[in-house]
Amino acid sequence: MSSPQGGAQEKTEQASPKRLSDARSKGQVAKSMDLVAAIGFFGTVMIFAAVSGDIITNSINYLTQSMAQLSQANSFEGSYGLLFINAMTSFAGLVWPMLVAAMGLGVLANVAQVGFLASLEPLQPSFSRLDPIEGVKRMFSMKALFDLLKAFLKLTLVGYAAYLGIRGEITTLLLVGYTEGLGALVVAGSVLMRVAVRVGVVYLVIGIADFMFQRYEHSKNMKMSKHEVKEEHKQVEGDPQIKARQRERQRTLATRRMFSEIPTATVVITNPTHFAVVLKYDENGGAPVVCAKGCDYLAQRIIAKAKEHRVPVISEPPVARALYKQVELGREIPIDLYRVVAEILATIFAQKGRL
């Protein structure tokens, strides 16, 4: 049996939002590079198929311009220079849209999997990666063997898809030998495109399967033991013992503040033994305010403190209970208690000779 304090406990609990968020900030997310590559490849093939007509037209124009410039060239060296410039211009015009599209599809594939994520954590140097012993262990680990088998399986599936595609086009490919000029190029290009689409579909299926596996693997790796869940809860919510001490300290401070208000209070209304509510009334401003209150032992302390400082103590059980239950510290009394409290204050002021 593993120690409850150790990290060897079986991880049976699903990852908490905090654990997933911490892992995400470190760049640890479920992502399939095969899916990114497959989407980029398949998308590029589709774009190439859509613009293949323009490619053929540009190729014809390039050949026409090259032949015309060769016939007008004054020197052999100059003709090569013109050919090179035209070739680079034509090649750039054909390739750059597909490169941009492939990059854009790769970015979209990444965003679709993990959202917008920017983390420098994977780029930071790690000395454990430079340890030759650890490197050898990683090379011969079960994960490395599994990754090798996955790569072999993917290569086999893609290769077999290409083989089936080419085998199905054997008859068409044989016609290339009997086709002249541009026609042969068109036939070969169409065959290549159909094979590429077949391979792209297979690669896309492999990418989707790999993404689902990566999500499963990530979820499995992120699982937590009961001890980890408990420790994380302590970090987020705080240690229960520490929080209990903090609450006790807060109650002590609140009690001290309450008792500091009693010497300047106007009246203490009691139950007479179970509840005590301290009111402070300013004749020049608003309604009376509850500045302290307590029940049982605390009520007895409030009454004793009030008598010590000659603050009037009036026994009005219904009023004391209502004030204790309805009014928070520092708040004015409710309107429905104005009349009864006013009568109490009038009695006190009369006793003091103010009325």
Question: How high is the pLDDT of residue 80?
Answer: 60
- Mean pLDDT, the chain, rounded, equals 79
| Least confident window among 23-37, 60-74, 174-188 | 60-74
What contacts 165, CB < 8 A, 6 or more positions away?
Answer: 194, 195, 198, 199
Distance between CA 197 and CA 192 in Å, rounded? Answer: 9
Is residue 90 over pLDDT 70? no
pLDDT tens digits, one per residue of 316-346: 999 999 999 998 988 998 898 899 989 988 8
Residue 49, number of CB atoms within 10 A of its CB: 15
Cα–chain-centroid distance for residue 15? Answer: 13
Size (the chain), residues: 355
Angle 210-213-216 from CA coordinates, rounded to 5°: 155
- Identify the burial level of 241 via C-beta atoms within 10 angstroms of its C-beta, where 0-12 means exposed, 13-18 middle and 19 or more buried: exposed
Closest CA to 327 of 285, 253, 282, 275: 275
State mean pLDDT over 52-68.
67
253 pLDDT band (50/70/90 cuts)?
confident
Considering the domain delimited by 261-351, tell me its CATH architecture: 3-Layer(aba) Sandwich (3.40)
Is residue 233 over pLDDT 70? yes
Distance between CA 288 and CA 268 in Å, rounded? Answer: 12
Question: How high is the pLDDT of residue 127?
Answer: 55
The two most distant CA atoms of the chain are separated, in Å, by 128
Is residue 186 over pLDDT 80? no
State mean pLDDT over 86-115.
77
| DSSP per-residue string spanning 41-76 | HHHHHHHHHHTHHHHHHHHHHHHHHHHHHHHH-SSH
Distance between CA 49 and CA 313 in Å, rounded? Answer: 95
6 pLDDT band (50/70/90 cuts)?
very low
Is residue 306 over pLDDT 70? yes
2 pLDDT band (50/70/90 cuts)?
very low
253-291 burial, b at 16+ Cβ within 10 Å, e below that, comes to: eeeeebbebbeebbbbbbbeeebbbbbbbeeeeebbbbb
User: What sign does the CA torsion over 153, 157, 158, 159 have?
Assistant: positive
Distance between CA 171 and CA 173 in Å, rounded? Answer: 5
| DSSP per-residue string spanning 101-114 | HHHHHHHHHHHHHH
Q: 187 versus 268: which is more confidently predicted?
A: 268
Give the C-alpha distances (Å, rounded to integers) separating 30 from 35, 74, 154, 221, 222.
12, 62, 19, 10, 11
142 pLDDT band (50/70/90 cuts)?
confident
Distance between CA 275 and CA 295 in Å, rounded? Answer: 4
Q: Where are the domains of the chain?
A: 17-235, 261-351
Distance between CA 33 and CA 110 in Å, rounded? Answer: 8
Joined tokens for residue 74: 């004054």
Q: Is the pTM of this model over 0.75?
A: no
267 pLDDT band (50/70/90 cuts)?
very high
- Residue with tokens 């006013």, as numbered in its chain: 342
Joined tokens for residue 262: 């009693």
Contact 117, 58 (CB under 8 A): no
